[in-house]
Amino acid sequence: MALLEIKNLSLYIPTGTEQVKALDKVSLTLAAGEIKALVGESGSGKSLIIRSIIGALPETWSVKADRITYDGQDLLNMSRNQRRQIMRRDIAVVFQEPTSALDPSVKISAQIQESIPDEFIDKGFIWQRWKQRQQISISLMHKVGIKDHERYLDCYPHELPTDISQKLMIAMALASEPKILITDDSTRGMESTTKTQILRLLSKLNKTKNLAVLFVSHDLLAVTNMAETMTVLYCGQTVESGKVKSLMKKPLHPYTKALLDSAPSFQVSLPPKSELIALKGTIPTLQHLPIGCRLGPRCPNAKKECVVTPIPRKIHEHQYSCHFPLHFPNVKGPDKEVHL
Ligand SMILES: Nc1ncnc2c1ncn2[C@@H]1O[C@H](COP(=O)(O)OP(=O)(O)OP(=O)(O)O)[C@@H](O)[C@H]1O
Ligand code: SF4
Ligand SMILES: [Mg+2]
């Protein structure tokens, strides 16, 4: 059974007089101990998926899904308190903007201490508990590569360099020894040694603690080094999903191919907000969504049949949503089955 399962998640955002469908039947699973990358151009909906998982959405937005479960528990229909408990202990998120996730009015030492669950601290006098929390905080900082902890413990968030804030967010996320870590582009802009250090730490925790990671990134080189499986998202629709090796070797969806072609030999990561050089045009805004397959206006293979939204199809563990998948010339449109 998947540890995290999202099935047919749609998210509606009100804009003026109408509601736009920002996520359109997105599906994604994460098994215990799996590292899955979630990739797609800027604006494809990666952060919205994360916010839907943790339930951090404005009340005016509406979520529809066949299910969103953690370890078999229905996240959508449990109480706010139960969901918060799961987020506090089992699913940790490192947000895209580290400084906005830290409380500007509280010193770093207090914020790290706060992230350590009470159960991890032995009973004793207040000062003994404080000392134990402080020791754990320092060891977490060392784990993520902040060696000179004295320099930062007494600081407020605005006094920290960005890469230290990013590392602190990761340290705080790991404090509860979660089962799932979701990182939203959290190594963005880090210099390469620091990034390698963080990615190694995550790989190590994955191997030694069976930590499952949902790794959201624009950095295709890191994705190919880190993740075994990958889900590709375009404009709120899941377009392809499967083993990283298989997607790289034989992408079935034109968008996946364009994404891979955009990062020649993967030596450069795709900068945020960058356009895909392999495809004309840009990702549409939510107010101007094409009908059917949302890649239609940019897709080199589009045909009239593509005004019908393609349903997901599966070949072994490889899933794709396209009427005319690459490498399968015998597939002839929406209502035909794939013949292998
Ligand atoms: N608060 C909001 N109100 C209205 N629309 C929003 C809001 N947040 C996101 N969106 C829209 O939802 C879509 C998906 O946004 P999202 O932030 O999930 O993209 P992303 O894939 O995380 O991009 P990036 O790689 O730049 O982080 C975009 O079209 C964005 O404009
Ligand atoms: S369904 Fe049509 S428009 Fe969409 S990716 Fe496939 S070929 Fe292109
Ligand atoms: Mg984002």
pLDDT digits over 150-169, tens only?
Answer: 999 999 999 999 889 999 99
Of ligand 2's listed atoms, the one at least distance from the Cα of 299 is 8
Assess whether pLDDT exceeds 70 at residue 270.
no
Q: Which of 44, 306, 320 to mutate to test the pocket of ligand 2 (most atoms within 8 A of CB)?
A: 306
Q: What letter does residue 16 receive in the DSSP assignment?
A: T
Q: How confident is the model at residue 101 (pLDDT cuts 50, 70, 90)?
A: confident
Q: 243 near 259, Cβ under 8 Å?
A: no
Shortest-distance ligand to the CA of residue 49: 1
Q: pLDDT at position 340, please?
A: 36
Give the domains, in start order, of the chain with CATH numbers. Answer: 27-61+178-340 (3.40.50.300), 101-176 (no CATH)
Check the CA dihedral 20-25-26-30 and report its sign. Answer: positive
Mind giving me the DSSP string for 91-132? EEEE-SSHHHHS-TTS-HHHHHHHHS-GGGS-S--HHHHHHH
Query: How many CB atoms are located within 10 Å of the residue 200 CB?
Result: 13
**Mean local confidence (pLDDT), 137-146:** 95
pLDDT digits over 184-205, tens only?
Answer: 998 888 888 888 889 999 999 9
* pTM score above 0.85: yes
Query: Highest-confidence range of 203-212, 265-274, 331-340, by mean pLDDT?
Result: 203-212
- 44 vs 35: CA distance, rounded Å: 20
Q: 279 near 298, Cβ under 8 Å?
A: yes
Assess whether pLDDT exceeds 50 at residue 337.
no
Of ligand 2's listed atoms, the one at least distance from the Cα of 306 is 2
Assess whether pLDDT exceeds 70 at residue 74.
yes
Q: pLDDT at position 109, please?
A: 97
